[in-house]
Amino acid sequence: MKLPIYMDYQATTPVDPQVMEAMLPWFVEKFGNPASRSHAYGWEADEAVTLARKQVATLIGADPREIVFTSGATESDNLAIWGVAQFYREKGNHIITLTTEHKAVLDTCRYLESDGFTVTYLPVQPNGLVNLAALEAAITPQTILVSIMAVNNEVGVIQPLEAIGRLCRQRKVFFHCDGAQGVGKIPMDVNVMNIDLLSISAHKIYGPKGVGALYVRRQPRVRLKAIMHGGGHERGMRSGTLPTPLLVGLGEACRIAGVVMATEQSQTLALRERLRIGIMSRLTHVELNGDLHARVAGNLNISFNYVEGESLMMAIKNVAVSSGSACTSASLEPSYVLRALGVNEEMAHTSIRFGLGRFTTAQEVDHVIEIVVSAVNKLREMSPLWEMVQDGVDMTSLQWAAH
Amino acid sequence: MSYNEKVLDHYENPRNVGSLDKMDAQVGTGMVGAPACGDVMKLQIRVSADGIIDDAKFKTFGCGSAIAASSLVTEWVKGKSIDEALAIKNKEIADELALPPVKIHCSVLAEDAIKSAVADYRSKQSQQAKGV
């Protein structure tokens, strides 16, 4: 078993060997610029890009002409939100999003606030899901865009996309969806879900880093103001020479995802449940963060009470996971996503995100269960808080001096 | 994030983890920190009839540096008189463990834990002297 065991598939995924195989010829042999119309080098590259575009479109039920290639989901989010806002600013200046969105969405919205836009950051329910009634109530005649993610990167909850899309369509508001953690993991169809703009990332689905796409609906048409100016590539929405090898990788990753999704997700779910039950049946005072059922297969986010997050991370250094607190930075900041779910600060600090994926094995899961259970037990034996709990002290009644 | 070797050593093989009888008049218990800040240290010392700390135990909820700092002070206070123990300064703890600036508070907390344990011991002794 390779150590540390990789359980951070929501951060990134390894490139699938089949994907890399598909990419390789496009670096040295077939290096042409897809925009070169006057010779065979350009034509073959253009064909490859056309196929990739089709593969991406097929995975989400779109038309290839609706796919704009970008450098990744962060750029796609920026282009979708900023681009729509700028294009439609005469029509309205209000945007709605969730407090649990990715920073690429939240920071773009913050930026637009400094440019005359009003943004509503809707709180989520304790299970991490949007409150549809609150969303409906937040829409005003000034609203031009709703941006809600498919799957949350930290807690893995799947938002009710069909219901959100239906509501947005009824109210004639564009629906942007950050699909970085959802596309390729859950069935997504832009027409069934009435999604107008969908951000896609390659490296979350076993494709290469540095490439992604934005789906932009043609019917009814969504228009964008471009961020990148230049040669007018991607129908003027995103200039810049298309990176053929990366796009081939993205396309192949989408093709594979479409083929394996159902079986892969049920296998991943079985492993996730093995991990969840393995840990939660052997430790008390452990809490699952985010809804269990409306949840992507590969995500498990749990908090361990009465141990401290950073020492827990140290104790499980043979498992590559993410922690709910940014403990590498100078300030110990608990995750804003967990805080938005109402998780208290102490529990947010001790939360661990386990991300499982295509190459996770049952053997790895069993090993991780052992590591985590023994680490938590060891730290609890060392914890004065745990001792008080064992002695029956009501922890909520204690007054602590801040320091 | 990389830790100093001494921190790792104390973290992986903590010295003197455990509890002493907090009702014992010879035992002083100090509890400092707060869960919301991410550190709670409990330090206990047992003082012999001739005024020497002959045992020390700790339990700490906190990061690796906080665990290491508490483990280290249990080693340091053993065999010392109360006044010698009180003379241990956070800087010596931070220097010994090569704590980075963001972890200095762990050494401050460890120093406070000694003071708090001694204060508890002294208050027990004076109460006993008064025959309470």
For A221-250, the pLDDT digits (tens) are 999 999 999 999 999 999 999 999 999 999
For A305-324, the pLDDT digits (tens) are 999 888 898 899 999 999 87
User: What pLDDT, on a 0 to 100 scale, did the predictor assign at position A393?
Assistant: 85
Task: Tell me the pLDDT band of A400, cut-offs 50, 70 and 90.
Answer: confident
Q: Spell out which residues of chain A touch residue B41, defining contact as CB-CB under 8 Å.
A: 384
Q: What is the mean pLDDT of residues A87-116?
A: 97
Q: Is the pLDDT of residue B2 over 80?
A: no
What angle do the packed helices B5-12 and B64-77 form, to 10 degrees? 80
User: What pLDDT, on a 0 to 100 scale, did the predictor assign at position B3?
Assistant: 76
Q: Is the pLDDT of residue B54 over 50?
A: yes
Nearest to B53 by CA among B61, B39, B43, B38: B43
Q: Is A78 helix (H, G, I), strand (E, B) or coil?
A: helix
For A347-368, the pLDDT digits (tens) are 888 899 999 999 999 999 999 9
User: What pLDDT, on a 0 to 100 scale, did the predictor assign at position A60?
Assistant: 98
Q: Spell out which residues of chain A touch residue B14, defining contact as CB-CB under 8 Å.
A: 382
pLDDT > 70 fraction of chain A, expressed in percent and rounded: 97
Q: Does A137 touch chain B (CB under 8 A)?
A: no
* CB–CB contact B63 A311 (8 Å): yes
> What's phi and psi for A322, nearest 5 deg?
-110, 150
User: What pLDDT, on a 0 to 100 scale, did the predictor assign at position B44?
Assistant: 98
Q: Spell out which residues of chain B touch residue A395, defining contact as CB-CB under 8 Å.
A: 35
Q: Is the pLDDT of residue A330 over 50?
A: no
In this prediction the pTM is 0.92
Residue A105 and residue A91: Cα distance in Å, rounded? Answer: 21
Interface of A with B in 337-366 (CB under 8 A): 345-346, 349
Torsion sign, CA atoms A204, A208, A214, A219: negative
User: What pLDDT, on a 0 to 100 scale, did the predictor assign at position A403?
Assistant: 55
Q: Given A332, A383, A403, which is nearest B109 (Cβ)?
A: A403
Which alpha helices (DSSP H) does A316-361 contain, by range?
Answer: 336-340, 345-349
* CB–CB contact A327 B39 (8 Å): no
Strands (DSSP E) contained in chain B are 27-34, 39-47, 53-61
- Residue in B closest to A375 by C-alpha: B12
Nearest to B5 by CA among B68, B92, B78: B68
Q: Given B36, B60, B102, which is nearest A384 (Cβ)?
A: B60
CB A106 within 8 A of CB A152: no
Chain A interface disruption, residue of B9, B15, B59, most A CBs within 10 A: B59
Q: Does A403 touch chain B (CB under 8 A)?
A: yes
Q: Is the pLDDT of residue A328 over 70?
A: no
User: What pLDDT, on a 0 to 100 scale, did the predictor assign at position A331?
Assistant: 53
Q: Does B9 touch chain A (CB under 8 A)?
A: no
CB A148 within 8 A of CB A101: yes
Could you tell me which residues come within 8 angstroms of residue A123 by beta carbon, excluding any fewer than 6 positions away? A98, A99, A131, A134, A340
Task: Tell me the pLDDT band of A399, cut-offs 50, 70 and 90.
Answer: confident
Interface of B with A in 39-98 (CB under 8 A): 39-42, 59-64, 66-67
Could you tell me which residues come within 8 angstroms of residue B12 by beta carbon, excluding any fewer than 6 positions away? none
Q: What is the mean pLDDT of residues A96-115?
A: 98
Q: Which residue would you say has higher pLDDT here, B130 or A384?
A: A384
User: What pLDDT, on a 0 to 100 scale, did the predictor assign at position B132?
Assistant: 58
Q: Is the pLDDT of residue A208 over 80?
A: yes
DSSP string for residues in A231-290: S-TGGGTS-S---HHHHHHHHHHHHHHHHHHHHHHHHHHHHHHHHHHHHHTT-SSEEE-S
Type of residue at A232: G
Q: What is the mean pLDDT of residues B71-97?
A: 97
**ipTM confidence score:** 0.92
Residue A15 and residue A310: Cα distance in Å, rounded? Answer: 30
User: What pLDDT, on a 0 to 100 scale, did the predictor assign at position A12?
Assistant: 97
Tally Cβ neighbours within 10 Å of residue A16: 20
User: What pLDDT, on a 0 to 100 scale, did the predictor assign at position A325?
Assistant: 65
